Every structure is written in C-alpha cells, then in structure tokens.
Amino acid sequence: MATSSKLTKRNVDAAKPGDRVFVLWDSDVSGFGLKVHPTGRKTYVFKYRVGGGRSGRRREPTIGVHGSLTPDQARQVAIEMARDVSLGKDPASLRDQVRKAPTMSKLFDRYLAEHARPFKRASSVRNDERIIDKTLRPALGHLKVEHVAREDILGIHGSMADRPYEANRTLALLSKLFNLAELWELRPDGSNPTRHVKRFKEERRERLLSEQELAHLGVVLSQAERGPIPDRDGNDRLIFPPAITAIRLLLFTGARSGEVLGLKWSWINWGLRRAELPDSKTGRKFVYLAPPAMEVIASVQAGDPDPNFVVRGKTPGTHLVNLKDPWGIIRKCAGIDDVRIHDLRHCFASIGAMSGMSLPMIGALLGHKDIATTQRYAHLSDNPVRSAADQIGHRLNELLKPNALTDIGQAGNAQNE
C-alpha cells in the first residue's frame, strides 16, 4: 500500500497500522515518506538512488521516529538530504560516517595506549589517567571528536576557576589530545578547540622552612624512627620506616619525590657519591649524595634492604609509592601543616642560595635544564652578596669619619707594640 499526500501531523497521527509495513509518501518532497509498521511504530524515511537514474543504487535511510520528530522537522531533513544527492553525495553514507565517528572516550583510550604509556613517565601517565577519568570522560566522553567546540573547552576550564593549577593542566592535556586528533585525521588541521582559551594565572607557591622549623622536623623524624608518634587526633601512629628514609633523602638531595621513591641500588655510584638516574623529568640525571645522604643510604643497606629499591615498598620487589599519608602525620607533629612534600626540594635549593651558591650551581644540583626555572631563588642568593656589601659599606663609613685618622693611628701603634 503506497499513497501520496502532504505529510501533516493530522494524517500522520491518523495512519493506522496494517498487517504489513506500508509507506505514506509526501507529495511536496520527492522520496520523503512515513513508514508505518504493524507494531504501530512510525518512522520517517528518504528514498533516493546513489548516482542518480534507474541504474543508481537504491537507498532508503531512516530520518527519525515520529514523536521525536514532527513531519515538518523530518521534511526539512529530507530537503537537506535531497540537496546532498543533487550534489552527487550519499547522505546515508555521510550519516553512517558520523554515527561511526570516534567519540572522545575512544580518543582518550587511544591517547593513553598509543602516546602516554609508550612515551611518558609512569607518574605522568597516572596523572593523565586521573584527569581523564575524573574530569574529561564524564564531561566530553559521549561527544564525537569532531564535534567538540571551544565552548565545551571553556565550560570545563571555567568550572575549575577555583583550582587554577589543575585547570591549566587539564587544558594542556586537552590541547595535546586535539593535536593528536588532527595528526590521526580525526579532526581537520588547525581546528584545535583549545586555541585562544586563556590559562588562569597561577600563583607560584613556595613555602620555605626556617631553621627552627627544620630543627622541629628533625626531632619528629628521630622520634618516628624510634617508635609511634601522635597524629592529629592524639592517636599513636607508626610511620613506615622507608617513608622516613625517603623524607631524609628528599631533604639532603633536593631530588623530586618520584626520583627518590624509584631509586634503585644499581644506580648508586658509591665512589663518586651520586645516584645516576637513567631517566627523569629532564632526562638522564645525576643526584649528588652529600655525606648525610650517604649515611641514610648506608643505614638502609646495613639493614634488611629490598634487592632492587633503596626505598622499599610493603610488597617485596616494589618501591614505596605514597608519601602523602606519612608526611601528613609528620608535618603536623612538627607544626608545619602547610608544607608540601615538594617544598622539601625548595628547602634544599633555598639553603644553597642563602649560602652564596650561584644560580647555575643550584640548577645543576636540582637537575634544571633551564636557568629560568632556577631564577625563582634569585632573591635568596642576594643574601651573602648583600651581607658583603654591608660589611664594605660599614668599613668605608668608619674610614670617612672625622676621627678616622686618630683611630687608624692608635690601631697602628697597638700593632707595633
């Protein structure tokens, strides 16, 4: 059964299902019709031939279901499809491509499998996975890669305004993802939607420990090595000994926490007193081991060490992976609640700067590739120079006083005697 009349809501609603499928064809748009199924389901279709003429391949894709679409909405889709056919395109094929186009969730999986895990450090991969699972997959995972727009990126970035550092790291990850999407031909070149999205201003946070605070920390570490220490609730807590080892090594070396936690015995050059890391955030790196650091390592070796790692984990053959909890207890006991584990690296550098070491020397100790990274300690490196200038100024001031000649003479006589 096939009839032709303009499809309106009235005659579409009035169409009663039969024993078999039939089509009501629209009289205004050739090929546009309503397919009525025996179940009562009604779907809008568009019939055409690929390549035109009777020899072309017949296609009849579904536009949508009546109820979700009105007749006028479905007709408009049919008109657009007819326009594509007139231009030699195959609308059904285009719709299949869109339907089969990868989603952002697939892009996340491909990024982790083909880029992050093969080329990035394990800690960076874990951070990428955390951002993807916590923020990006819930917000963008269902969208097609090619459909993500700048408005979507602005929405995610803007929602994290109270966490500027995290927001900017998320934006940087998205930028990389869409650069790869272009490389993998999932988006047109130059279409990265993160372009022109301004990063939030980040306040550089550097918490340096005073000599008194360091002394308090030393007392707590010594107490923790002997036995339990009280946590914030007054409960006695036993600190896993390798965590104390790691904290002492962080203080004595200025290394990054991942470098200390993953330190292997095979990397220790005992003769040159350095750890020779084959890979770090900045590539191959030497971590120089001052005598106190060597004492810490030697004490571990004299005990019951893990055969692979200096800072052993709780499972044999593994290294410690988390300092957050033990450090949280230790810093509260030491009265330095706001000090992060990374601040111990800043503490190492600040001591060097205030002792008169040059910025290039501090950069070499920390493994910085760019002197600009070390420049944050420039204000501290002024201290010895300022002290020297003060001494010279004071001496010159004494020499320029009216009674200076008398004082010099008296000093000379005293020396002769």
Whether residues 46 and 132 share a domain: the answer is no
Residue 306 lies in a domain: yes
Whether residues 231 and 338 share a domain: the answer is yes
Instruction: Say if residue 356's pLDDT is above 70.
Output: no
pLDDT band, very low/low/confident/very high, at 336 (cuts 50, 70, 90): confident
Average predicted confidence (pLDDT) for the chain? 83
d(CA 43, CA 60): 12
Residue 397 lies in a domain: no
Identify the CATH number of the domain in which residue 94 sits.
3.30.160.390
Element of type H or E holding 353:
helix 343-354
Whether residues 170 and 256 share a domain: the answer is no
pLDDT band, very low/low/confident/very high, at 1 (cuts 50, 70, 90): very low
Whether residues 162 and 236 share a domain: the answer is no
Q: Which SS3 state, helix, strand or coil, does residue 51 take?
A: coil
Q: Which SS3 state, helix, strand or coil, does residue 44 take?
A: strand
Residue 374 pLDDT = 55
**Tokens 């305004």 — which residue?**
161
| Alpha carbon of residue 240 to chain centroid | 29
pLDDT band, very low/low/confident/very high, at 205 (cuts 50, 70, 90): low
d(CA 379, CA 365): 18
CB 14 within 8 A of CB 37: no
Distances (CA, A) of 383 to 139, 344, 355, 357, 390: 50, 20, 8, 10, 10
Residue 195 lies in a domain: no
Whether residues 216 and 243 share a domain: the answer is yes
Instruction: Say if residue 305's pLDDT is above 80.
Output: yes
φ/ψ (deg, to 5) at 123: -65, -35
Q: Please provide the DSSP assignment of 297-363 as one string.
A: HHHHHHS---SSBSSB-SSTT-B----HHHHHHHHHHTT-TT--TTHHHHHHHHHHHHTT--HHHHH
Q: Which residues contact 111 (CB under 8 A, 6 or more apart)?
A: 128, 176, 177, 180
Residue 405 lies in a domain: no
d(CA 26, CA 15): 13
Whether residues 231 and 371 share a domain: the answer is yes
- Residue pLDDT, tens place only, 284-296: 778 888 888 899 9
Residue 194 lies in a domain: no
Q: Stretch 182-203: mean pLDDT, rounded?
A: 89
Residue 202 lies in a domain: no
Provide the residue range defining the domain that includes 256: 211-378
Instruction: Say if residue 79's pLDDT is above 70.
Output: yes
Last residue within a domain, chosen from 68, 100, 132: 100
Overall number of domains in the chain: 3
Specify the length of the chain in residues: 417
Whether residues 365 and 225 share a domain: the answer is yes
Distances (CA, A) of 353 to 193, 212, 248, 344, 371: 42, 18, 20, 14, 14
CB 344 within 8 A of CB 252: no
Whether residues 83 and 146 share a domain: the answer is no
Identify the CATH number of the domain in which residue 262 sits.
1.10.443.10
Last residue within a domain, chosen from 64, 81, 100: 100
* Range of lowest pLDDT (23-37, 50-64, 127-141, 142-156): 50-64
Residue 200 lies in a domain: no
Residue 166 lies in a domain: yes
Whether residues 349 and 235 share a domain: the answer is yes
Whether residues 331 and 350 share a domain: the answer is yes
Whether residues 147 and 253 share a domain: the answer is no
Residue 239 pLDDT = 92
CB 253 within 8 A of CB 293: yes
* Range of lowest pLDDT (1-10, 70-79, 246-255, 317-326): 1-10
Last residue within a domain, chosen from 66, 100, 134: 100
Q: Which residues contact 322 (CB under 8 A, 6 or more apart)?
A: none
Whether residues 94 and 108 share a domain: the answer is no
